[in-house]
Structure 1
């Protein structure tokens, strides 16, 4: 005799959307419009959560490895830094107010990768940040990338643990990390310990980056949404500073980043296969009952943990250079 058990219900389900889009490179306002259009598209598909790639707003710093970015006191690097800062997102200025309003109007949560120019760090350094906006249109967290990767350190500042937080969304608790932070076991553990069962991973683009997604899903016994950016030669505005030099060596290749966004279930199987080489908004319905089933034999911070032997301390205070007492 076989026994069939259906422990799922409508309240367990969440409709989620991958938004793989290319920026209008280093043009904040034009890229904001593309982000807004993708949100509208997802709303038409009844999405309750949408995610975008790393620093899609206003774009990834592709120039560094292509213009001798480590050359000290170089006029080109200074000019590009200033141009990047000019197009960065200043949350305190209200740059995301329109996106927050869309989230509220559609009842949709949003993970958005931005290049952030925060006032609380003086306003002239930038951070690779992942912003979570909840379904009420309220910014729930701004996670500044803990350690920029390789040449990224020449333009992005190291962040802090303030954004290592999860958020309630329907039956799920959602959390996220930027790019190679997803390779950091302790950063992942911090989110697991905060109850994460839906993990959002953002990447600048390239399907090899999202190859880790099935592993993350099986380790966390969580859904994993990996969203990458896309970057084509045609996405560079004609007035981009030093454009010829940036594109030199690209040959006839169309892409600098070819996407790879995907959605993986807690057992490591694909819900949405990697999307390569195209802009797309793709939706799927996920079911929290699958999380509960997969946690039966492994729960990384529950029954399969030993906090008496291994324990993690997480400092979630926002780092600042000064504390003013008036």
Structure 2
């Protein structure tokens, strides 16, 4: 396992509602990061095909004009779009974490896909609980999405946006000995100056807190809003433009002691934040406090995780043992629930 290497966090505007162009732009950044010596490159939340800022700006009826285009430009697992990303990773010998709107059937999910340096998808996770109005667009993940994977670059995990405000979800990741974490953010422009909790001070603070609390390196890639995107989602409405200003890119990388590493890109410009990391730093950070290890108080508090994949439809052969004769109630070895009660 490599312990010292360069990482890259991309700060770039998505090609909003254009999956084809977005994949090509992502590939250009993958190539650029690899050319500059990075072994891991990360993109923000739903970078493909872009974060749906419009859900925060108007009525449901007004938003419907975007629904079809957003659905059509959301990526499908195993598609040609995914294959292009896979080939870019293998050709450039680089790992990739990218935030996507994942389409499965008739539903969309806020997802993060992790490709290894051979182009294989080694983690495909979904945001457990979309935040606020995001729930009008996206479905939910489950416990199988709280996953840290072994790679040639160490143990790497991913969470999206306000999942970094969920203490139990974070703790589940810490407990898996996470060494490098991808904290994917959309853009931090929405409601700037009117909703402090949505701003960069709080959200970059959550990213930094994750690093020092989990004793791990954290990449916080963040997209930004361009004038072109603003024009698309605001449509010349001055009130909407105030709620969705240009900029909002606050990409940052943090070390296990909470210090910021790497040189930031101005919040209204595109670019890549690079940092050299050394996994040996983690031992020094966790010597003081390992929240899921020696610093835990397991006689007082513990975390229970249900890691089973939750599916709305099961084949009969895969389903639990149901007693059809007794209102489909589950039963144990002694018979049906009804019989056991009697």
Do both proteins adopt the same fold according to a TM-score greater than 0.5, normalized to the shorter chain?
Answer: yes
Which whole-Å deviations, capped at 9, do the CAs of 1:151-203 have from their partners, x for residues lacking one? Answer: 11111112212221112234521111000001111111111111102111000
**Matched pairs, number:** 304
Q: Which residue of 2 aligns with 1:203?
A: 185
Judged with a 3 Å threshold, the aligned counterparts in structure 2 of structure 1 residues 287 and 246 are, in CA distance, closer, same or farther, namely farther
Which residues in structure 2 correspond to 1:301-312 (within 5 Å)? 301-312=292-303
Larger RCO (CA under 8 A, 6+ residues apart): 1
Q: Does the 8 Å contact 1:90/1:116 carry over to 2? A: yes
Shift of 1:253: 7.6
Q: Which residue of 1 aligns with 2:162?
A: 180
Q: Does the 8 Å contact 1:142/1:162 carry over to 2? A: no
Q: C-alpha distance in 2, partners of 1:247/1:139? A: 42
Shift of 1:55: 0.3
Which residues in structure 2 correspond to 1:231-270 (within 5 Å)? 231-235=225-229, 244=235, 249-250=240-241, 255=246, 257-270=247-260
Shift of 1:310: 2.1
Q: C-alpha distance in 2, partners of 1:31/1:309? A: 48
Q: Does the 8 Å contact 1:20/1:279 carry over to 2? A: yes
Q: Does the 8 Å contact 1:15/1:286 carry over to 2? A: yes
Shift of 1:243: 5.5
Which whole-Å deviations, capped at 9, do the CAs of 1:60-103 have from their partners, x for residues lacking one? Answer: 1111122213xxxx3x4434222211111111334311111111
Q: C-alpha distance in 1, partners of 2:245/2:291? A: 41
Q: C-alpha distance in 1, partners of 2:151/2:138? A: 30
User: Which of 103, 113, 118 is 1:131 aligned to?
Assistant: 113
Structure of greater Rg: 2
Q: Does the 8 Å contact 2:6/2:277 carry over to 1? A: yes
User: Which of 56, 59, 79 is 2:50 aligned to?
Assistant: 59
User: Which of 135, 146, 166 is 1:164 aligned to?
Assistant: 146
Q: C-alpha distance in 2, partners of 1:252/1:114? A: 23
Higher helix share: 2
4+ residue segments displaced more than 4 Å: 245-248, 251-254
Q: Which residue of 1 aligns with 2:3?
A: 12
Which whole-Å deviations, capped at 9, do the CAs of 1:32-58 have from their partners, x for residues lacking one? Answer: 111010000001011110000100100
Which residues in structure 2 correspond to 1:110-129 (within 5 Å)? 110-118=96-104, 123-129=105-111
Judged with a 3 Å threshold, the aligned counterparts in structure 2 of structure 1 residues 101 and 202 are, in CA distance, closer, same or farther, namely same
Q: C-alpha distance in 1, partners of 2:153/2:244? A: 43
Judged with a 3 Å threshold, the aligned counterparts in structure 2 of structure 1 residues 52 and 171 are, in CA distance, closer, same or farther, namely closer
User: Which of 307, 310, 331 is 1:316 aligned to?
Assistant: 307
Which whole-Å deviations, capped at 9, do the CAs of 1:91-143 have from their partners, x for residues lacking one? Answer: 1334311111111222211110000112xxxx111111111111221111221
Q: Which residue of 1 aligns with 2:22?
A: 31
Which whole-Å deviations, capped at 9, do the CAs of 1:231-272 have from their partners, x for residues lacking one? Answer: 112246x8x5x76267753159851x5110101111111102
TM-score, normalised relative to structure 1? 0.87
User: Structure 2 unaligned runs (5+)?
Assistant: 189-199, 318-342
TM-score, normalised relative to structure 2? 0.83
Q: Which residue of 2 aligns with 1:107?
A: 93
Q: Does the 8 Å contact 2:263/2:274 carry over to 1? A: no
Judged with a 3 Å threshold, the aligned counterparts in structure 2 of structure 1 residues 152 and 91 are, in CA distance, closer, same or farther, namely same
